[in-house]
């Protein structure tokens, strides 16, 4: 890996069994993503975008090929090893916010820090809530927050550990246009200011063009790569 490479995939292939026989969801995908980059993964529904994201993040394992994340070979680690690496180096933002309903906004953001045994969990979570514009909503529960506010909590939770890579899977999918635009601006602002690599799965071509690079998948293969700007 180059010294500034944070994420590298080598010949990733993912097959699953189906009633019709083996089904190849991803075929021989290789890519190299640098520290601080913003990369969009685009393609039609069923192109393999979410599968690629799951493999790159160590949420799933490839049938063949390997993934290097922050210098560690994910494919050589067991499930516990991958979970530990994710907790230390990876943040996630999903279309559905995945917040713990019984915890306040602040407690949701504190959660990954507490799991890591950080003594400064409350202070760091409060600072991150302020950064995403939720300073006055920290005591509210998810059901008391709007969709945009819930996604801000999810982003704060993803960024509070200062991950090497943030994976965002259709992060504006459940939001109206104006709120979605604010959330996207926030993601890019945090990407730029924190030097966190952003890997964004989206069907929105306009949003994809705000990234520094676009990777287009089709039928499980990397169709093309475009440098933007």
pLDDT tens digit string along 125-153? 999 999 889 999 999 999 999 999 999 99
Please state, in angstroms and rounded to a whole number, the distance separating the CA atoms of residues 14 and 60. Answer: 10
175: pLDDT strictly greater than 90: no
| 5-97+163-227 maps to CATH 3.30.70.141 | no
Provide the 3-class DSSP secondary structure of residue 61.
Answer: coil
The HSE-up count of residue 56 (CA atoms within 13 Å, CB side) is 32
2 band by pLDDT with thresholds 50, 70 and 90: very low
Calculate the CA 110 to chain-centre distance. 18
Q: Check whether 117 has a pLDDT greater than 70.
A: yes
DSSP string, 123-172: HHHHHHHHHTT-TT-TT--GGGS-HHHHHHHHHHHHHTT--SEEEEESTT
pLDDT band at 88 (very low <50, low <70, confident <90, very high): confident
pLDDT surpasses 70 at 13:
yes
pLDDT in tens, 33-86: 999 999 999 998 889 999 999 999 999 999 999 999 988 999 899 999 998 898
Minimal CA–CA distance to 12: which of 50, 63, 79, 46? Answer: 63
List the single range of 23-27, 44-48, 208-212 with lowest mean pLDDT.
44-48
Residue 229 banded pLDDT, cuts 50, 70, 90 = low
Cβ proximity of 66 and 74 under 8 Å: yes
pTM: predicted TM-score of the whole model, two decimal places: 0.89
The dihedrals phi and psi of 208, each to the nearest 5 degrees, come to -60, -35
- Report the chain's mean pLDDT, rounded to a whole number: 91
């Amino acid at each position: 890996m180059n010294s500034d490479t944070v994420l590298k995939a080598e010949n990733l292939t993912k097959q699953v069994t189906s009633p019709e026989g083996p089904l190849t969801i991803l075929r021989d995908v290789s890519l190299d993503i640098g520290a601080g980059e913003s990369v969009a993964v685009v393609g039609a529904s069923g192109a393999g975008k979410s599968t690629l994201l799951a493999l790159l993040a160590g949420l799933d394992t490839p049938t063949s090929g390997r993934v290097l994340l922050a210098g560690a070979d994910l494919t050589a680690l067991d499930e516990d090893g991958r979970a530990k690496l994710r907790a230390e180096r990876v943040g996630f933002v999903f279309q559905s916010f995945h917040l713990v309903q019984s915890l306040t906004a602040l407690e949701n953001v504190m959660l990954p820090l507490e799991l890591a045994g950080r003594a400064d969990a409350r202070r760091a979570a409060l600072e991150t809530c302020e950064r995403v514009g939720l300073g006055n909503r920290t005591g509210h529960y998810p059901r008391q927050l709007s969709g945009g506010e819930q996604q801000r909590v999810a982003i704060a939770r993803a960024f509070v550990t200062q991950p090497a890579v943030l994976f965002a899977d259709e992060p504006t999918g459940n939001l109206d246009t104006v709120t979605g635009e604010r959330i996207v601006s926030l993601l890019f602002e945090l990407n730029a200011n924190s030097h966190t690599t952003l890997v964004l799965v989206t069907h929105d071509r306009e949003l994809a063009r705000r990234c520094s690079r676009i990777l287009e998948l089709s039928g499980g293969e990397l169709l093309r790569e475009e440098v933007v700007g």
